[in-house]
């Protein structure tokens, strides 16, 4: 099976924030929402989400997703 395991990480940030998920810059829509398709590996997958405002203040959220086939 050539199916890829993926999870959609989505949410909303404050205006003028930048966002990274596992170190990758994520595009933020005009309404400050985002959707990011994250590939999963077998087993535990750490997800680190960091929002940064104009003053460089950061809000960090960490989640774990477990993928089993």
40-52 pLDDT, tens digit each: 999 999 999 999 9
Work out the pLDDT band at 3, boundaries 50, 70, 90: confident
* pLDDT at residue 49, rounded to an integer: 98
Tokens of 54: 């104009």
Distance CA(38)–CA(58), nearest Å, equals: 21
Integer CA distances (angstroms), 29 to 2, 35, 44, in order: 31, 9, 29
Integer CA distances (angstroms), 35 to 18, 28, 43, 56, 68, in order: 13, 8, 23, 22, 23
Is the pLDDT assigned to residue 57 strictly greater than 60? yes
**For residues 51-69, average pLDDT:** 96
Model pTM score = 0.88
């Amino acid at each position: 099976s050539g199916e890829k395991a993926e999870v959609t990480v989505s949410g909303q940030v404050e205006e003028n924030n930048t966002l990274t998920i596992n170190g990758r810059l994520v595009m933020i829509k005009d309404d400050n929402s985002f959707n990011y398709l994250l590939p999963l590996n077998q087993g535990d997958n750490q997800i680190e989400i960091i929002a940064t405002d104009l003053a460089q203040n950061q809000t960090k959220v960490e989640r774990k997703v477990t993928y089993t086939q």
